[in-house]
Chain A
Amino acid sequence: KAGVTQTPRYLIKTRGQQVTLSCSPISGHRSVSWYQQTPGQGLQFLFEYFSETQRNKGNFPGRFSGRQFSNSRSEMNVSTLELGDSALYLCASSLTGMPGNTIYFGEGSWLTVV
């Protein structure tokens, strides 16, 4: 069974641009979460989607957004990129997103903002 797949794996963007990252969850998983990982802040929860609806959200500015499609695939978007947005963005999936569900992570998308 395929794991969580994220694309692209690496990308470089210029300050002020926007970026879209894509995530395909494990087959049968309907909950998709996104996390940002930086050396300074560690792993931080961005948001979670289930059945095309955002159910949970972390403390990030509105420049960070996401969506989920009917096949559970998800995208996240960051607009007006800042240097501080350089990070590893991890997508994770679980069956339903309920507390206690095992959460599986993809390999991440490395974003560098220059």
Chain B
Amino acid sequence: AQSVTQPDIHITVSEGASLELRCNYSYGATPYLFWYVQSPGQGLQLLLKYFSGDTLVQGIKGFEAEFKRSQSSFNLRKPSVHWSDAAEYFCAVAPKVSTDSWGKLQFGAGTQVVVTP
């Protein structure tokens, strides 16, 4: 079955430290890949997306993600975390060819990031 997995439900990181959030997918072919962030009480904001080409993708707020086909992964990274990065992060995928893909993303369960001083 098609699935998106974020293995870490909760991550605590010190301000200034690096952050890596994991995302694995299980699809027949490489889907379109996205990372979204949700601050408390807010909607989802797109951080970055991968469609094809360069496997290292730069996004907003200093985030980047690396696509690894061999590992079916699309991990999100930030070299130095700020207190304002505390939020929930969602990996999402859209299959490239599917009869039920119109306007639809499949989301992982999310990773809650806590930033300590």
Cβ proximity bits A93-111 to B, threshold 8 Å, 1 near / 0 not:
0100111111111111000
Q: Other than the known A42-B109, A90-B44, what 10 A-B pairs have Cβ atoms closer than 8 Å? A: A6-B43, A43-B105, A45-B104, A48-B103, A48-B104, A50-B103, A56-B103, A92-B103, A94-B103, A102-B34
Q: Which residues of A contact B46 (CB under 8 A)?
A: 102-105
**B45 in the interface (beta carbon within 8 A):** yes
Kindly provide the distance from the CB of B115 to the nearest chain A CB, expressed in whole angstroms. Answer: 21
Interface check B1, CB cutoff 8 A? no
Q: Are A31 and B103 in contact (CB under 8 A)?
A: yes
Considering only CB atoms and an 8 Å cut-off, how many residues of chain A contact the other chain? 29
Indicate if the CB atoms of B90 and A97 lie closer than 8 Å.
Answer: no
A86 to B100, CA, bound (A): 26
- A72 at interface, CB cutoff 8 A: no
Q: Across the interface, do B101 and A56 meet the contact criterion of CB distance under 8 Å?
A: yes
**CB-based nearest B residue for A104:** B46
Q: Of A55, A99, A106, which one neighbours B94 at CB under 8 angstroms?
A: A99
Beta-carbon contact of A100 and B103 below 8 Å: no
**Residues in B whose Cβ lies below 8 Å from that of A50:** 102-103
* Those of B62-117 within 8 Å (CB) of chain A: 90, 94-98, 100-110
Chain A residue nearest in CB terms to B106: A45
Known: A33-B103, A48-B102. Contact between A99 and B95, CB under 8 A? yes
Report B17-48 CB contacts with A as 1/0, cut-off 8 Å: 00000000000000110101000001111100
Closest beta carbon of chain A to B54's beta carbon, Å: 16
